[in-house]
Chain A
Amino acid sequence: MSFSFKYKAVQLKSGKFIFRPMIPLAIGEEKINVFRILDSGSDITIIPKELAEVMKIDYGSENEVSGISGVPVKSKEGRINVHFGKGREFYNFDIPILVPEKEGLNFIIGRLGFFEMFKIIFLEAERRIEFKKINLG
């Protein structure tokens, strides 16, 4: 069993189109429906501070996150529940997150906790992402 999502097209300021792997999922106890880029280059999921403030999150220790600027930003570690799937296939699992202290940072679905759950294929030529659940035994 597997399911997939088509990439989302965005017209760049240059006029060219770019296609991005975005996914919908429900997060937190509140099951807030959100969408964001699935980023295989990011170690962990980043929840923007402003979104985290409306969610109940059990925070752990403090950490730092580095982004495109290379400048580390202080962040809090936490965990959230994720409800993700499509059609007849939906799965519930927890993932670790970082919430940066600074507002305005991007919301990214990173690898830790999420990529272990599925075999994920970025079908760039077909402009879609395919997910197949991994049975962890």
Chain B
Amino acid sequence: MQDIISNFESLSEDKTSKYAGEWVAIVNNKIVVHSTSFKEVYDFIKKNYQNEKPLIGRLPEANPIVLSIS
């Protein structure tokens, strides 16, 4: 389970900013694929990283997020 922590902690501010709003997959502390489409990211890691446990997530947008403005 340490892979998940290591991959997560490798997510630096330059990556969260560069890929804001996109799905990313991280393997061995590197972003190996990014896309606005989850399916593209998932298909890529299924094809190329079958024996790995990538960390997948959608980075939040580079705008302030609020629950409600009404």
A residues whose Cβ falls under 8 Å from a Cβ of B: 5-6, 8-13, 17-18, 20, 22-26, 31-37, 39, 41-42, 48, 50-51, 54, 68, 70, 83, 85-87, 90, 106-107
Contacts and interface: CB of A to CB of B under 8 A. Distances in A.
Contact of A8 (B11, B37, B54, B63): B11
Interface of B: 1, 3-5, 7-9, 11, 13, 16-17, 20, 37-39, 42, 53-60, 62-70
Contacts of B68: 68, 70
Contacts of B39: 50
Given A11-B62, A24-B8, A35-B8, A107 B17 contact: no
Given A10-B17, A48-B38, A68-B67, A33 B7 contact: yes
B4 A24 contact: yes
A19 to B, nearest CB: 9
Contacts of A10: 13, 16-17, 20, 59-60, 62
10 contacts: A9-B13, A10-B13, A20-B65, A23-B8, A26-B4, A33-B54, A35-B57, A41-B67, A54-B42, A68-B69
A75 B42 CA distance: 23
A13 B62 CA distance: 6
A33 B5 CA distance: 10
A90 B3 CA distance: 13
Contacts of B37: 50
A23 B3 CA distance: 14
Given A20-B60, A106-B58, 8 more contacts: A10-B20, A11-B17, A12-B64, A24-B8, A25-B4, A33-B4, A70-B70, A90-B1
